Structures are given as C-alpha cells and as structure tokens.
Amino acid sequence: MNDLDNVITGVLRYRREEIEKQFNCSVLAYYADIRPDYLNWFRSTLEATHAANTEQKKLAIVLNTPGGSVETVEQMVVMVRHFYSEVVFIVPNMAMSAGTIFCMSGDAIYMDYSSALGPIDPQVQSKEGHWVPALGYLDKYEEILQKAANNTLTGVEFAIAQSQDMALLRRYEQARDLSVSLLEEWLVKYKFKNWSTHASSGEPVTPEQRNLRAHEIAAQLGDNKIWHSHGRRLGIDVLRNRLRLEIVDYSEKDDVRSAINAYHDLIADCMAQKNWSIFMDNTGK
C-alpha cells in the first residue's frame, strides 16, 4: 500500500468513526451489486465488524446498490441478524430493487432528500447469464396471454410466445413471489415491531393490521403498472405519502448529513478513480 492509499484509508476510518458516534453503533458499508459471488466477502466483512466490538448489538449498514439477487439478500439478512439485534440502513444515494428489499429487513431506514429506494423488481440470470429484471418478462408474457384470450395476437407475438422457456418464466415467478414474501415478513418482524398504536387515533395496532400494511407496501412496490420503470427512483416524499412507509429524514440534521455524505463521497470517489465495481468497509479495519 502506497502513501496515498494509507492517507485515504486513514480518512475513511475517520469518516466512518464519525457515523459510529452519531448512531452509537458499528458501521458496515456495502457498495456493489447484490450477487451470490460476493457473499464470502460480505461474511468476512461482517465478521470483522463484529469482532471489533463483540458487545455492540446495533449495526448501521451504509448501502449503495443498484440491486441484484433476492436469494442473496435473504442470506445476507440471516448473516447480519446472527450478530445484531438492531439493524438500521443508511441510504446516502440509492438502494434499488433487491437493495430496497434489504432495507426492509432493518429496524429503521435513514434517507435524505436526495436518497432513493426503488420498485422491487428482482433480477434473475437469463440463459445467457445476464442479470435481467423479472417483472418485465412476466408482464410482457401476461400481455401476450391476454391478447391470445381476446383473439388479437399477432403472428410475431405468437412466435415470441412459442420461443419462451417455461422453466425460466417459472423461475421469474418464483423470484417475484420470494421478493414479496420476504418484504412482508421482514416489515412485520423488524420495521413494524415497535408499531403499537395508530398515530391518527391512538388505537392499538393488531397483528392483522401489521400484516395488512406489509402486504399493501409489498404489492405497491412490486406493481410495474404503478412505477413503469425498473429504475424508477422513489424518494422520501413518495415513500412516505404514497406508500405510507416510515422513513427517518436526516436532510435537516446538518451534523448527521455531513458525516454521512463525507463518508459516501469518499467511497464513491475512490471507486470511480480505481474503477472498482465493489467496495465494502467495516468497523473492524
């Protein structure tokens, strides 16, 4: 490691420690796609974070990701919850698709006015090995089936339907269903666990009402007819007002926002300059 790398590492550690002080917890940064190839690296980073302070039961995950594999998210949540009873997510820029599902496994989500989550359109590998959004394929196939039922199917569309791999389409359906199932489960288990009374009436919140709200949020986030685009960025106003999802807004908390942005900007700059596609950082270093 040269002198410049040593300086960057030192500044990175300082920036991370500022967030640790603000949130009184350990910190782990994950900047990458979410894919099974990275699970070993994530496990090592998580274990180093825990080893640095085994008494700390709260973890803040600074997350920046375009999304990826929902099955990988499920395994990451299992790993994180093995060590930490309280987990919060900090999103300085974006956590899309599977990243949004990851955030829903937290006790709280922190964002500012420029942050975004995304629709939960899981990405799966095609026959060619490319990562593709599953819902787009399913929506188009459903459209073709509807046209067939109405006797309005064109010859080209008929050829497209014939060329589809049924096993692959089923794989897309499973990824969609798993995304919804996990999001509903984690919202109820973690994010809604302290939701005991309705803000408007003061009436107690029942388990059925928690389940219903989780189902409503999952259904909306997974509806392409609402968002129209896999890459649609959903900011705080949309999440709060349209989905009625509780988000902690740190836009006006200057000390918190300064610490988070300084850390995020340094990581983003390093990744851009070194042409890295993945970066993980932890309290243990």
Distance CA 103, CA 121 (A): 14
Q: What percent of the chain has pLDDT over 90?
A: 59
Distance between first and last Cα of the chain:
15
Sign of CA dihedral 125, 126, 131, 137: negative
- Quick one: pLDDT at residue 245? 92
Of the candidates 135, 140, 127, 138, the residue with the CA atom closest to the CA atom of residue 70: 135
- What number is the average pLDDT over the span 207-225? 88
Quick one: pLDDT at residue 141?
Answer: 64
- pLDDT(176) > 70: yes
Q: Is the pLDDT at 2 greater than 60, yes or no? A: yes
Q: Please, what are the domains in the chain?
A: 3-282 (3.90.226.10)
CA torsion, ordered 39, 182, 119, 222, to nearest 10 deg: 140
Q: CA–CA separation, 153 vs 62, rounded Å?
A: 48
Q: What is the pLDDT of residues 105-156, one digit of tens each?
A: 999 999 999 999 999 876 666 666 666 666 666 666 677 667 767 777 676 6
What's the pTM? 0.86
SS (H, E, C) 140-182: HHHHHHHHHHCCCCCHHHHHHHHCCCHHHHHHHHHHHHHHHHH
What is the rounded distance in angstroms from the CA atom of residue 90 to the CA atom of residue 94? 10
Side chain identity at residue 208, one-letter code? E
Amino acid, single-letter form, for residue 231: G
Per-residue pLDDT tens digits for 57-77: 999 999 999 998 889 999 999
DSSP state of 210: H
